[in-house]
A = this chain, B = another copy of it.
Amino acid sequence: MVDAEDGLGRWPVNCEIPVQWGDMDALNHVNHTVFIRWMETARMHYFVACGFTMLLEEEGIGPILAGLKVDYHAPVTFPDAMTIQTTMTRIGNSSFDMGYRIASSARGGETVATATVYGVVFDYKAGKATPIPDELRAKVLELEASVT
């Protein structure tokens, strides 16, 4: 499955997004940046679900995207319906890793891309990275544990 810390890596959040015609580029495949846009949408659903979005609004503590790594396995074309799944795989002191996998309905659920996103928790008022609040850590573990 996915290399993850204890209690993580359970893929609790997913979203369904249809391919749009304009997602394709001049090579007649969905452009590789679109996969990363889909992952971002799934990530925001995860952040809402674990309370990170509320933490940003209420206390100015939010995520920063430090890096990402994507592996493309198969091309995608219009029309298709994608399922994007995400999970937290590591929670460090002030950083975290998230896993992603994207499946194609037209390809019978085949995984067409996998990825890891590297995040940092940032205190926007202090202007620097900050330790992950215990409450957020607990909610992430709770969200991951919701998958039986």
Q: Which residues of A line the B interface, CB within 8 A?
A: 15-18, 20-22, 24-26, 28, 31-33, 36-38, 40-41, 43-45, 65-72, 78-79
Contacts and interface: CB of A to CB of B under 8 A. Distances in A.
Please list the 7 inter-chain residue pairs (A to B) with the smallest Cβ-Cβ separation, ordered nearest first.
A21-B44, A24-B26, A20-B41, A69-B69, A67-B71, A33-B33, A26-B28
Given A33-B37, A69-B67, A18 B15 contact: yes
Nearest to A16: B18
Given A32-B65, A36-B33, A17 B20 contact: yes
A95 to B, nearest CB: 13
Contacts of A78: 26, 41, 44
A56 to B, nearest CB: 9
